[in-house]
């Protein structure tokens, strides 16, 4: 096997052509095997690639989890996905709804405060994680009276409201502090304002969602911090889409799309409010009476692009607003977002590359475990001590029971990994297997061992499949 | 532990506020423990999330590897990263260069055809993978005479030239076919032209690279298919940056940045040529005499945005070209690229989530292996058969040596995974461990077993660290 690598043209030049001052050579696509090239026939873990090892995410780019944080996050999501309730202690939770079972409340049941309904379409709603019996996958159910809406479940998601707007002290700038017409608001850079890069990361994603929806001739109608979900550090998704369309469906109206342009305008104004609230780090900033203060805060602390975007969305426009009009304001920040996303891909890929061998190694040890020391096989109590199995028993000792010259245990995971990899690859390398009484040494190749291993496990599997002889 | 989930506001409402028609409730940030909530105390693999399970990448978006392909790709990259040469058979390859060792040629040594140098800065160059002894990471070295340039090594990368322009028959449209002034070129949609989405994916990345370089006051000078590397399906990187700056460095010139504006213009023209060649799927298309034919081909098969971008870059402009001017032509395609990149993130994350447990399980089995059947520990030949170790021996039998009622082997990986997970978590669940003579049954909890397991392995480790007593 020969790597297709950085620049392998020139191996077998079959034609050349000079184009625009540069000479190109066409090559035979079949790379010639290179003499004396050695691929390790067993696997060892490659180091992290330098472009990830020395990655320096840009200061103005959205941040993302690095490998260790991501693992923690994945385990956390896993836990949340698998969480169940004890039905006997939660009689208020239905055991099944339509084809969904294993309901797990994502909000308290019943809601402790009926006022909560205001942010939930003026209805009492409940929200569950549930498993669809048709595909066994987890979904998020939003239940409104007898209606149930089903959405993808994103474990560990939180709302933009709960992440950014759940601290009432942040509003004090607007609600408590008094400052006069001529006294400029103090810069709030150090008072917990969000970094502009985060706000743009959100703008790009929310405008992308609106663009997709509006291009389809629909409206979102739930562009609100309580309906925007955040997973990881900056990834957004819009929850509860379609709920208003169903709840306000008017059968008497013949053309249901008539109101869409109006709803789409409302979507864009809602987006403006979300962005302004983020820029003020307070929902109080979008109250009509605070608007001037809020815009001054934006002018002082953020770029004119951000201010212009908010003004475009929130002030009167002579013609209909369009989500396409904000693209130029995002401008080169698209590149920043894309860079960050691709760097994140690199990080996760590197992390996956490290893990991709573990499943294989685990299965190898599990197979070996089913063979070694098996007390009886098909009425033969000496099966695991004789023939091929004897070799595998000695290999097991070689793998796990190494001792130093002075007789102390020598425990080294890389020895285990390396031996298992050689076994898996069946390399021609020889290995000395010492009997327990140290009286005999069997010299075999890993390739021999692999044959023993494969045929023995096959024997077990066949017996398992066909029953006793 | 309580999940921070889809919408947990309302748990402990401590303040409400009505803003812009929506009522918001501030909640106590400490979630109340939910009565009767059960987290599985052992791990089982969660299913693929629906947003990945039912992912439908958009037709006009750049494609990416799905999980299985990605694993193959990662293993392939791993192999290439670890490949070495046999020094004795490759005497032409230096054993060391500066602080780099383990050189592995990425191009034939010596180059079979001296003409090859035309595309390599008019010098004979050689290209190696090598390991830096300072950080033990692999790098790509480009050697020009006595000069060595070091770049990040991207295993499995190939040049844009070798992926897209290495088929001379693709040029026949320009070089062989005769068609008159009035005879329009036939549509080549079915003749192997590249999808427009791929071309835009490339444009976005190449313009991003140029933007970064130009913003830094520098020029790229190697915007050429032989210097553009592709990894995966569509990811681009520019190779050999800086080589021309060094090779053409003129000590007599006082201000080295004077020529930058000119080089930057050349970069943009080079980008135009790359894009036109991609659109024609042939390098012949960018030859001056074929330009009209080539542009007609573009007009027929691609969007006017693509045509305009090429015209902007390749035709005379009254003022200096700027990479910023092409952003509006990319327009909403930024969203498409970003969407694709984020979907790709979702796929890799889901895949990593599946693997993240395997390393842990593998280490558990490796530890168990060091304990079970150890022939001797500190001169005690019965160590592994007595005390805590006896329980772990019976647990090993429970794990691996299950049989059906009729005595045939019962081999089930999920049983092994589940038991190991319960052991790892130390759950209070009880387990019946049957002695080999079936005369006694020991009832222990996984929590007991975990204690035995941990203390025994610790005992081994201590002995390994301190030597024999």
Per-residue pLDDT tens digits for A138-179: 899 998 878 999 999 998 899 999 999 988 777 777 766 554
Among A284, A410, A468, whose Cβ lies nearest the Cβ of B464?
Answer: A410
Q: pLDDT tens-digit profile of B176-206?
A: 655 455 555 555 554 679 999 999 999 999 9
Provide the CATH number for the domain around residue B430.
Answer: 1.10.287.3700
Q: What's the pLDDT at A360?
A: 84
Distance, CA of B467 to CA of B469 (rounded, Å): 7
Residues A460 and A313 in one domain: no
Provide, as residue numbers in chain B, all residues whose Cβ is less than 8 Å from the Cβ of A46. Answer: 77-78, 81-82, 138
* Whether residue B220 sits in one domain with residue B118: yes
Write out pLDDT tens, residues A13-65. Answer: 344 445 554 444 444 443 444 456 565 544 455 667 778 888 877 777 777 77
Domain-located, residue A58: no
Using a CB-CB distance cutoff of 8 angstroms, which residues of chain A are in contact with residue B330? 334
Check whether residue B371 and residue B335 sit in a common domain: no
Average pLDDT over residues B112-116: 52
Which positions in chain B touch A407 (Cβ < 8 Å)?
376, 378-379, 468
Q: Which residues contact B72 (CB under 8 A, 6 or more apart)?
A: none
Using an 8 Å Cβ cutoff, are A298 and A276 in contact? yes
Q: What is the mean pLDDT of chain B?
A: 82
Give the span between the Cα atoms of A212 and B402, in whole angstroms. Answer: 55
Tell whether A98 is covered by a domain.
no
B11 pLDDT band (50/70/90 cuts)? very low
Q: Output the six-digit token pair for B234.
A: 């569509």
Question: CA-to-CA distance for A143 and B77, rounded, in angstroms?
Answer: 48
Is residue A158 in a domain? no
Q: Which residue of A has its CA nearest to B223?
A: A22
Kindly indicate the confidence band of residue A72, based on its pLDDT and cuts at 50, 70 and 90: confident
- Say if residue B48 is in the same domain as residue B104: no
pLDDT, tens digit (0-9, with 9 covering 90-100), for B378-417: 888 999 999 999 999 999 999 999 998 888 999 988 889 8
Same domain as A437, residue A333: no
Query: Could you tell me which residue, B32 or B180, shows the higher pLDDT?
Result: B180
- What pLDDT digit, counting tens, does each position of A229-250 carry? 999 999 999 999 999 988 888 7
* Helix ranges (DSSP H) in A249-332: 260-280, 291-301, 304-314, 327-330
Q: Is the pLDDT of residue B7 over 70?
A: no
pLDDT (average), residues B251-266: 84
**Do B370 and B343 lie in a common domain?**
no
Chain center to CA of A340: 14
- Residue A415 falls within a domain, yes or no? yes
Residue with tokens 């006997």: A88
Three-state DSSP state, B181: coil
CA distances (Å), B328 to each of A31, A329, B300, in order?
42, 11, 22
Highest mean pLDDT among A121-135, B7-21, B450-464: B450-464
Residue A349 scores a pLDDT above 90: no
Domain assignment present for residue A220? The answer is: yes
Residue B30: pLDDT band (50, 70, 90) is very low
Residue that is last in its domain, among B334, B352, B370: B352
DSSP type of residue B258 = T
Among A352, A371, A372, A433, pick the best mutation site for testing chain B contact (most B Cβ within 10 A): A352
Domain boundary among A339, A356, A373: A356
Tell me which of A1, A2, A5 to substitute to probe the interface with B (most B C-beta atoms closer than 10 Å): A5
Angle between helices A291-301 and A304-314 (to 10 degrees): 160
Q: Residue B199: what pLDDT?
A: 97
Identify whether residues B397 and B348 lie together within a single domain: no
Whether A298 is in a domain gets the answer yes
How distant is the Cα of A70 from the closest Cα of chain B, in angstroms? 9
What is the rounded average pLDDT for all residues in chain A? 82
Among B1, B2, B4, B5, the residue to mutate for chain A (most A Cβ within 10 A): B5
Instruction: Tell me which chain A residues have a C-beta less than 8 angstroms from the C-beta of B353.
Output: 74, 77-78
Per the structure, the count of domains in chain B is 3
- Residue B373 vs residue A80, higher pLDDT: B373
Does residue A261 fall inside a structural domain? yes
Task: Report the run of H or E that residue B17 belongs to, with start and end.
Answer: strand B13-19
- Indicate the pLDDT class of residue A366, thresholds 50, 70 and 90: very high
Which domain does A338 fall in, by range?
176-356
Contacts of A224 in chain B (CB under 8 A): 22
Q: Is the pLDDT of residue A276 over 90?
A: yes
Rounded to the nearest 10 degrees, how much is the dihedral formed by the CA atoms of B372, B373, B378, B383? 80
Instruction: Specify whether A232 is located in the same domain as A300.
Output: yes
Residue B306, min C-alpha distance to chain A (Å) = 18
Strand partners, B147: B144
Residues of A in contact with B337 (CB under 8 A): 338
Q: Which residue from B416, B378, B278, B166 is spatially nearest to A359, judged by alpha carbons?
A: B416
The minimal CB distance from B127 to the residues A7, A224, A351 is found for A7
Cross-chain CB nearest to A24 (options B12, B107, B165):
B165
pLDDT beyond 80 at A126: yes
In this structure, the answer to whether residues A246 and A352 fall within a common structural domain is: yes
- The mean pLDDT value for B28-40 works out to 48
pLDDT on residue A222: 95
Residue-level pLDDT at B253: 73
Chain B hits for A57, Cβ within 8 Å: none
Of A9, A38, A82, the CB nearest to B159: A9
Is the pLDDT at B418 greater than 90? The verdict is no
- Beta strands (DSSP E) in A172-323 are 228-231, 235-238
Query: What is residue B27's three-state secondary structure?
Result: strand
Write down the H helix ranges in B302-439: 304-314, 327-330, 333-355, 358-371, 387-400, 413-425
In the predicted structure, residue A264 carries a pLDDT above the cut 80? yes
Yes or no: say if B236 and B160 are a contact pair by the CB < 8 Å rule. yes
Q: Which of B53, B118, B362, B363 has the highest number of chain A CBs within 10 A, making it the mutation to test binding with A?
A: B362
Considering the domain architecture, whether residues A302 and A181 belong to the same structural domain is answered as yes
Same domain, A289 and A389: no
Chain B partners within 8 Å of A20 (Cβ): 273, 283, 286-287
H/E element, A78: helix A67-82
How many alpha carbons fall within 13 Å on the CB side of residue A256? 11
pLDDT recorded at residue A220? 96
pLDDT at B9: 34
What pLDDT score was predicted for residue B173?
A: 75
pLDDT at residue number A466: 81
Look at A246-250, B76-80, B280-284 and tell me which has the smallest mean pLDDT.
Answer: B76-80
Asked if B350 and B50 count as a contact pair (C-beta separation under 8 A), the reply is no
Option in A158, A211, A348 nearest B348 (CB): A348
Let me know: does B24 contact B16? Beta carbons within 8 Å.
Answer: yes
Q: From CA B152, how far away is CA B239, in angstroms rounded?
A: 9
Which one of A93-102, A404-413, B211-220 scores highest in mean pLDDT?
B211-220
DSSP letter for A117, please.
G
Helical packing angle, B67-82 and B333-355, nearest 10°: 80
Residue A117 confidence class, pLDDT cut points 50, 70, 90: low
Compute the nearest-CA separation of B391 from chain A (Å). 15
Residue A209 scores a pLDDT above 90: yes
Helices (H), B16-98: 50-53, 67-82
Instruction: Tell me, rounded to whole angstroms, the distance of Cα B418 from its chain centroid.
Output: 31
H helices, E strands: number in chain A:
15, 14
Please report, for the domain that includes residue B151, its CATH number.
1.10.510.10
Q: What is the pLDDT of residue B12?
A: 38
Does residue B5 lie within any of the structural domains?
A: no
The Cα B310–Cα B329 span in angstroms is 10
Which own/partner pairs from B88-96 qualify as long-range (CB within 8 Å, at least 24 positions apart)? B88/A36, B89/A35, B89/A36, B90/A35, B90/A36, B93/B128
Do B73 and B38 fall into the same domain? no
Give the nearest chain B residue to A269 (CA atoms).
Answer: B20
Provide the pLDDT for residue B8: 35
Domain end among A356, A378, A407:
A356
Contact B138 A15 (CB under 8 A): no
Query: For position B67, what pLDDT does the model report?
Result: 72
pLDDT of residue B38: 60
Find the length of chain A: 469
Is residue A99 scored above 70 in pLDDT? yes
pLDDT at position A1, please?
30
Contact between residue B9 and residue B18 where contact means Cβ atoms under 8 Å apart: no
Out of B7, B112, B407, whose CB is closest to A106? B7
pLDDT at B24: 47
């Amino acid at each position: 096997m020969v790597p297709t690598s950085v620049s392998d043209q020139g191996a077998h030049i079959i034609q050349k052509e000079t184009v625009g001052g540069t000479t190109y050579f066409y090559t035979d696509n079949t790379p010639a095997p290179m003499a004396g090239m050695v691929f390790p026939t067993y696997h060892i873990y490659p180091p992290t690639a330098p472009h990830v090892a020395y990655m320096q995410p840009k200061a103005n780019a959205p941040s993302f989890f690095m490998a260790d944080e991501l693992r923690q996050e994945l385990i956390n999501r896993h836990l949340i996905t698998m969480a169940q309730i004890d039905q006997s202690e939660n009689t208020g939770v239905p055991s099944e709804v339509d084809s969904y079972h294993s309901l797990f409340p994502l909000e308290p049941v019943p809601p402790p405060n009926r006022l909560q309904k205001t942010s939930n379409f003026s209805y009492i709603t409940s929200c569950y994680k549930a498993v669809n019996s048709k595909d066994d996958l987890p979904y998020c159910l939003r239940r409104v009276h007898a209606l149930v809406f089903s959405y993808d479940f994103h474990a560990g998601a939180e709302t933009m409201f709960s992440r950014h707007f759940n601290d009432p002290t942040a509003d004090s700038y607007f609600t408590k502090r008094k400052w006069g017409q001529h006294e400029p608001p103090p810069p709030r850079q150090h008072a917990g304002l969000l970094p502009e890069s985060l706000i743009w990361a959100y703008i790009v994603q929310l405008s992308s969602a609106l663009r997709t929806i509006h291009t389809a001739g629909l409206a979102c109608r739930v562009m609100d911090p309580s309906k925007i979900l955040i997973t990881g550090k900056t990834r957004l998704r819009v929850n509860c889409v379609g709920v208003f369309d169903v709840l306000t469906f008017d059968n008497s109206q013949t053309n249901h799309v008539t109101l869409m342009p109006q709803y789409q305008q409302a979507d864009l104004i809602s987006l403006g409010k979300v962005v302004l609230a983020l820029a003020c780090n307070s929902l109080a900033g979008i109250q009509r009476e605070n608007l001037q203060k809020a815009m001054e805060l934006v002018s002082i602390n953020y770029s004119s692009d951000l201010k212009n975007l908010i003004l475009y969305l929130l002030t009167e426009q002579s013609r209909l607003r369009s989500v396409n009009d904000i693209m130029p304001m995002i401008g080169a920040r698209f590149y920043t977002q894309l860079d960050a996303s691709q760097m994140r891909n690199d990080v996760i890929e590197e992390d996956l590359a490290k893990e991709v061998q573990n499943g294989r190694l685990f299965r190898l040890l599990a197979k070996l475990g089913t063979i070694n020391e098996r007390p009886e096989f098909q009425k033969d109590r000496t099966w695991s001590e004789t023939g091929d199995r004897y070799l595998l028993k000695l290999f097991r000792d070689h793998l796990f029971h190494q001792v130093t010259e002075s007789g102390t245990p020598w425990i080294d995971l890389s020895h285990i990994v390396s031996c298992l990899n050689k076994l898996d690859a069946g390399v021609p390398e020889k290995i000395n297997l010492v009997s327990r009484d140290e009286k005999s040494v069997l010299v075999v190749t890993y390739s021999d061992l692999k044959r023993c291993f494969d045929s023995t496990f096959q024997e077990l599997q066949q017996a398992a499949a066909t029953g006793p002889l």
